[in-house]
Structure 1
Amino acid sequence: MRPGPFLPIRALTGAITLFFLAQTAPAQPQHGIAMYGAPALPPDYKALPYVNPDAPKGGRVVFGNTGGFDSLNPFVQKGTAPWQLRFWGYESLMGRSWDEPFTLYGLLAASVETPPDRSWVEFTLRPEARFSDGSPVTVEDVIWSYETLGTKGHLRYRGFWSRVAKIEQTGPRRVRLTFNTPDRELALIAGMRPILKKAQWEGKDFTASGLSEAPIGSGPYVVTGFEAGRYVTLKRNPDYWGRDLAFRRGTENFDEMRIEFYGDATVLFEAFKSGALSAVREFNAEKWQRQYDFPAVTRGDVVKSEISNQRPSGMTGLVMNSRRAPFDDWRVRQALILAFNFDYINDTMTGGVQPRITSYFSNSPLAMRPGPATGRVRDLLLPYAADLPPGALDGYALPEGDGTARNRTNLRAAMALLTQAGWHVVDGELRNAEGEPMRLSVLLRQADGEMQRVVDLYTQALRRLGIAVVADTVDDAQYTTRTAALDFDLTSFRRDLSLSPGNEQRLYWGSADANQEGSRNLMGVASPAVDAMIDTMLTSDTSEDFTAATRALDRVLTAGAYVIPIWAYDVSRIAHVRQMKYPADRLPIYGDGVEYMPDAWWWQEN
């Protein structure tokens, strides 16, 4: 275990200093690339620092998803694929270490080369790299993958492609991407695009594969069976090309992994209790304390593990669609935040154990500081003062309740804001100047029982303001379609954020995609200040500028009152069968992410 939370921060500061000292170094092939400084691991490293390099291979594990699926292609906009597929069966040129803020090491690529200004990046493929069918991974496959995903793939891939001026083969196993915009992170993002087999799709429509055909990848697992909407089975490829790589040592240890699908989280939990599933992640601290005392836990057949992390809190809660009235008025959004009695709801839902999210980057050095903006943060924001939400410059903090279940103090403040915005209570209903009542719809997944209970409690408070609320609960397919079409008033929201935020920020809150179908900018924020802060983050010449720009972005988003925040998931809680092991003595700074389990876990009978 690490001695404390500040060691990685000191390491990050040192890395940033090294980065700026190295700006004049000539381009040359390297085994890895870091956003700041040099990679922590040397070229001859033996394994990632947070894995057990001697972990045994074997075992069969079963995980559970809620909802269903109608596609085996996780790289296109159409359809819903099991989210795990793109992590288990596919690889990129570089792989990420989760013990560094943002560092990549060679995977399909043996080396990476880029000039000091990172205006281009060049990769050299490993000669032994193979797809799961045994065919070699070629430069032609790489170029086809970038072009196809960038033009026909899921929206998350297209933003990067728009910043590529040219992609070309520069040698038998070398490929270079030249960028059309100053952005130091693009060289790293280029290393993280999935590589697919070009020949598979000749004469076929890549975007319409659905369940008929899964893309061929180079990853350690392949789909060996499925039943639409019920299960998917993947087995470790015995001929996996990369099993001897240092990057892969001690990872990808299970022989077989199966994903079972359930209608909701309650049914999934009962399946776990009965022994049908091998592990579950629990996001509710009170449930963790009260409901994980079933016989298998008592016998020791199921183990409860808690995994800490040092990453930003991110944002979880109910997002408001600011594209439509009444959410286009910040006063209405702030009033809805005031009406949310966090202390009471948190105590009811989690026993008051989980801390509140206070901003998008809370729990990290990148979070906005209390009080008025000062120094470089203020300098960055001042040119946009006329368009900033109230509090962005002078200071903003989430409202605190008065300690009562009825939350009268904040409800009065909420009503005052609503009155300023032109809303008045008439015959028990909150109405605007045209006499139209405020009626809100909250779009929820059927499987999200926790958020449904949160909304039930929240609805009681809104009724006291004369606001009618309807919970619109739909299945996964409808939810995906509705959110992609931006068809909602409020909906559940989660954005994970890293210690090295970059181009993904454009997807989350950039104005370019704010009104585009399939946008990840669900709140619809279209702010010149937000765009400028993201630009500054991506082009900063000093570590101080980067941190200031991130803190400024945090201020604008938080003060904009686009999301009603709930609690932070500061600790990952995983219940698992006793045979599933992980290296608890060497946790990465990112803790339990989407790839940590199963990547770093193994099966051991005794």
Structure 2
Amino acid sequence: MRSDFFSLAGVVAAFLALVPAMQSAHAEPAHGIAMYGEPALPPDFVSLPYANPDAPKGGRIVTGNVGSFDSLNPFTLRGSPPWQLRFLTHESLMGRSWDEPFTLYGLLAESVETGPNREWVEFTLRPEARFSDGSPVTVEDVIWSYESLGTAGHPRYRGFHDQTASIEQTGPRSVRLTFAEEDRELAIIAGLRPILQKSQWQGRDFADAPPDEAPIGSAPYVIDSHEFGRFLVLKRNPDYWGADLPLRRGISNFDEIRIEFYGDNTVMQEAFKAQALSYIREFNAERWNTQYDFPAVQSGDIVKSEIPHSKPSGMTGFVMNTRRPPLDDWRVREALIQAFNFEYINDTLTGGLQPRITSYFSNSELGMQPGSATGRVRDLLMPFAGTLPPGALEGYSLPVSDGSARNRGNLRVALGLLEEAGWTVQDGELRNTQGQPFRLEVLLQQDALIQQATAIMDIYARALERLGIDLQVQSIDKAQYAERERLFDFDMTFMRRSLSLSPGNEQRFYWGSEAAEQPGSRNLMGMTSPAADAMIDAMLTSRTREDFVAATRALDRVLTAGRYVIPIHNYAVGRIAHLKELKYPVDNLPIYGDGIHFLPEVWWFEEN
């Protein structure tokens, strides 16, 4: 045994002696980084494949938001800024290609390198990188941004900070982050943190920044003017430092972007018909087919464009807050799903034209497969068999009604589940063993989907009434909604989670146990599932695409069988109605389809 020990020790010593050489051989500066494999674009690429490098610059577009805003700072929890700000006015060390699952290319940084296991990542800044006021972007700005956002910024930035062991300057223009845990995605996430100007906040509390002070950024657009609650105007910076970068050719082509704010979606729709807005996104397939025949469309002044995509369906629907009884009982949640007559609702509101979401990652290879879990997916889930929701291993699918208004069969199933959970009809009301009535409040905010969500809830309330459940809908303004959502002060609310072809650390913020009680987190359902946490860990440590897909399919089973959300429509196609002068690369659509990376980023203005 002793000779075996020394033999093993010799092997280990030899290996450790080789580690520096191995690290040196692996850590080559590169122009890009992919989650798996190599970046698709070569170091000398001219532009992103879905951008037109020869797109003309100029023109003005006007878009609309429903609701209001009271802040110009998108990086703290205080106030409600326009959602577009953090995408159009600030940059990160690297930028994303939306034609690949998850690949970044140099933006503020000219190169990236990693350790052999991505236990650290190092970025080298471009010497020409500048903030909008002309000052250089320095390593000091980068370090301050990571630390300030991670400690005083919005909660979405704090998880990454907790996973970072250290950040240090390694050269005049280089900075290295070393991670506290094994997670291959962290090196990529590091490249996407927004970089702010340290000197702007010297000696001040970033978390308590005044709402009318916008953080200085380095992106193509800067704030020109605004009036809280009414409008915001962004101007393209004529001195933007990165206009000739491959990642920026054919990008940010409009001279001005104006965002108008409306009290409700109906008023915004009328403004578009009058061509006071340059474009509008339509989420209802029936309205798209039947209500876009007004004179401007007939004359060709407004054009209808459909943008397909290959990303997962994500989850859109009504989320149930499991922090509150009786929604902490899966049988109650399943009963509420059974009572939701999707087939009738879909036929009534969209003419049956929009398919239903069937799981969180449906419409992609990452989605759970029908029937029982098999192979690697089953192996990942089996250690948690005792804690998994029913159906996670055996297979789970959403109930289907007969399409009639009464939905008798599913309502009978729902009533049986509610009785199992201790709820019975007493004097026309559903009550528990303590005699308390079953009452639910659905909290909705005033946005572009409020009209459809309210119509859905009106139909749903009549179905629940037949079960003896009192459902009340409360619609409030954006500021009130943001605060109540932050504190999880609701029974049910509308939720939309867009998911990518390379889901990662954001999954912890969406449904990880640590985020369940963290104010402002995106874990609206309050789920605390050891199985879900383990599947997210497996996704983040996967070395092969095959293992990653298996872990994501397993997570999809845990989420879907958990019955946390009543899913509604799958928006498999983006629908944009726009002025005829607005153009886009029709033959080179990104695999992620529509989004702010598409419109307004790669569109341009062209007079006919």
Give the structure-2-normalised TM-score.
Answer: 0.95
Distance (Å, rounded) in 1 between the aligned partners of 2:403 and 2:530: 38
Residues 1:82 and 2:82 aligned together: yes
SS in 2 for 1:360: coil
Q: In the alignment, which residue of structure 1 is the partner of 2:467?
A: 465
Q: What amino acid sits opposite 1:74 in the alignment? A: P
Corresponding residue for 1:190? Answer: 190
List aligned pairs for 1:518-597, cutoff 5 A. 518-597=520-599
Please say if residues 343 and 402 of structure 2, whose CA atoms lie closer than 8 Å, have aligned partners that are also in contact: no
Alignment-derived partner of residue 489 in structure 2 = 487
**Are 1:63 and 2:63 an aligned pair?**
yes
| RMSD (CA atoms) | 1.1
AA in 1 matched with 2:491: D
Look up the equivalent residue of 2:186 and give its one-letter code: L
Larger mean Cα displacement after TM superposition, 28-37 or 542-551: 542-551
CA-CA distance at 1:25 after TM superposition: 6.2
Q: Give the drift of 1:404.
A: 1.5
Shift of 1:505: 0.4
Name the SS for the 2:213 alignment partner: coil
Q: CA deviation at 1:463?
A: 0.4
Structure 1 counterpart of 2:527, one-letter code = V
TM-score, with normalisation over the residues of structure 1? Answer: 0.96
The 1:210/1:290 distance shift into structure 2, 3 A limit, reads farther
Equivalent position of 1:92 in the other structure: 92
> Which residue does 1:442 correspond to in 2?
442
- Counterpart residue identity of residue 515, structure 2: D
Distance 2:211 2:470 in 1: 41
Gaps of 5+ in 2: 1-21
Letter in 2 for 1:149: L
Amino acid at match of 1:93: L
Mapped to 2, the partners of 1:23 and 1:263 lie a distance apart of 57
Bigger drift between 347-356 and 568-577 goes to 347-356
Q: Secondary structure at the match of 1:283?
A: coil
In 1, distance between residues paired with 2:320 and 2:92?
A: 35
- Decide whether aligned partners of structure 1 residues 173 and 24 sit closer, same or farther in structure 2, where only a CA change above 3 A counts: closer
Matched with 1:370 is 370
Amino acid at match of 1:442: V
C-alpha separation between the residues in 2 aligned to 1:604 and 1:115?
Answer: 46
Distance in structure 1 (CA, Å) of the matches to 2:120 and 2:549 = 25
Q: Which residue of structure 2 lines up, in the alignment, with residue 430 of structure 1?
A: 430
Q: What is the match of residue 164 of structure 1?
A: 164
Q: What secondary structure is seen at the aligned counterpart in 2 of 1:242?
A: coil
What per-residue deviation string (whole Å, max 9, x for no partner) do you get for residues 579-600 of structure 1? 0000010001000123211111
Give 1:116 deviation, angstroms: 2.3
Amino acid at match of 2:594: D
Q: Distance in 2 between matches of 1:382 and 1:188?
A: 31
Shift of 1:154: 0.4
**Partner Cα separation in structure 1 for residue 543 and residue 562 of structure 2:** 28
Counterpart Cα distance in 2 of 1:62 and 1:31: 35
Output the CA distance in 1 between the equivalents of 2:212 and 2:495. 31
Report the secondary structure of 2:559's partner residue: helix
Distance 2:161 2:325 in 1: 34
- Which residue is equivalent to 1:284? 284
CA contact (8 A) 2:92 2:192 kept: yes
Structure 1 contact 63–259 (Cα < 8 Å) conserved: yes
Given the superposition, is the C-alpha separation of residues 297 and 138 from structure 1 closer, same or farther in structure 2, using an over 3 Å criterion? same
The correspondence of residues 247-262 of structure 1 with structure 2, limited to 5 A, is 247-262=247-262
Q: Deviations over 1:174-200 (max 9, x none)?
A: 000000100000000000000000000
2:246 partner SS: coil
> Could you tell me how far 1:543 is from its partner in structure 2?
2.4
Deviation sequence 1:30-51 (CA, Å, 0-9, x none): 0000001110000000000001
Q: Which has the larger radius of gyration?
A: 2
C-alpha displacement of 1:523: 0.4
SS at match of 1:77: coil
Q: Does 1:310 align with 2:301?
A: no
Structure 1 residue aligned with 2:350 = 350
Amino acid of the structure 1 residue aligned with 2:272: F
- Aligned in 2, Cα 1:597/1:138: closer, same or farther, shift over 3 Å? same
Indicate if the aligned counterparts of 2:132 and 2:240 stay in contact, CA closer than 8 A.
Answer: yes
> Do the aligned residues in 2 keep the contact of 1:23 with 1:117 (CA within 8 Å)?
no
Give the AA of the match of 1:283: F
2:420 paired residue number = 420
Query: How far, CA to CA, are the matches of 1:423 and 1:138 in structure 2?
Result: 62
The separation in 1 between residues aligned to 2:385 and 2:270, in whole angstroms, is 53
Match of 1:320? 320
Rounded Cα–Cα distance in structure 1 between residues aligned with 2:75 and 2:568: 31
Maintained 8 Å contact 1:71/1:209:
no
Q: What is the SS of the residue equivalent to 1:131?
A: coil
- Calculate percent identity across the aligned residue pairs: 69
Question: What's the CA shift for 1:24?
Answer: 11
- Matches of 1:188 and 1:466, distance apart in 2: 50
Q: Give the letter aligned to residue 219 of structure 2.
A: G
User: Cα 1:204–1:398, aligned 2, differ >3 Å: closer, same or farther?
Assistant: same
Aligned partner letter, 1:421: A
- Contact between 1:76 and 1:207, CA under 8 Å: does it hold in 2? yes
- Name the counterpart of 2:18: none
Q: Is 2:154 the counterpart of 1:154?
A: yes
User: Could you say which residue in structure 2 is the equivalent of 1:16?
Assistant: none
Question: In the TM superposition, what whole-angstrom CA distance separates every residue of 1:200-236 from its partner, at most 9, and x where no partner exists?
Answer: 0113222223433100000000001000110000100
Specify the SS of the correspondent of 1:387.
Answer: coil
**Match in the other structure for 1:243:** 243
Contact kept? 1:223, 1:233, Cα under 8 Å: yes
Contact kept in structure 2, 1:64 and 1:262, CA below 8 Å: yes
Shift >4 Å, 4+ stretches = 22-25
Displacement of 1:23: 11
Whole-Å separation in 2 of the counterparts to 1:578 and 1:212: 35
- SS of 1:355's partner is coil
For residue 122 of structure 1, give the secondary structure of its aligned residue in structure 2.
strand
Number of matched pairs: 585
Structure 1 residue runs without a partner (length 5+): 1-21
Secondary structure of the residue that 2:349 maps to in structure 1?
A: helix
Aligned-partner Cα distance in 1 for 2:294–2:357:
31
Cα distance between partner residues in 2 of 1:417 and 1:252: 53
Residue 476 of structure 2: aligned partner: 474
Aligned residues of 1:129 and 1:137 also touching (Cα < 8 A): yes
Residues 70 and 210 in structure 1, CA contact (< 8 A), matched pair in contact too: no
Work out whether residues 309 and 594 of structure 2, in 8 Å CA contact, stay in contact via their aligned partners in 1: yes
Deviation at residue 277 of structure 1 after TM alignment: 0.5
> C-alpha distance in 2, partners of 1:156/1:50?
29
AA partner of residue 522 (structure 1): L
Distance in 1, Cα, partners of 2:595 & 2:476 = 27
Q: Look up the SS of the partner of 1:144 in the other structure.
A: helix
- 8 Å CA contact 2:65–2:262 kept in 1: the answer is yes
Equivalent residue for 1:11? none
Question: Contact conserved, 1:79 with 1:210, CA < 8 A, in 2?
Answer: no
CA contact (8 A) 2:36 2:544 kept: no
Assess, with a 3 A threshold, how the Cα gap between structure 1 residues 143 and 24 changes in structure 2: closer, same or farther. Answer: closer
Instruction: Tell me how far 1:541 sits from its aligned partner.
Output: 2.6
User: Is the CA contact (8 Å cut-off) linking 2:98 and 2:597 kept in structure 1?
Assistant: no
Seen in structure 2, the aligned counterparts of structure 1 residues 31 and 506 have a Cα distance that, compared at 3 Å, is same
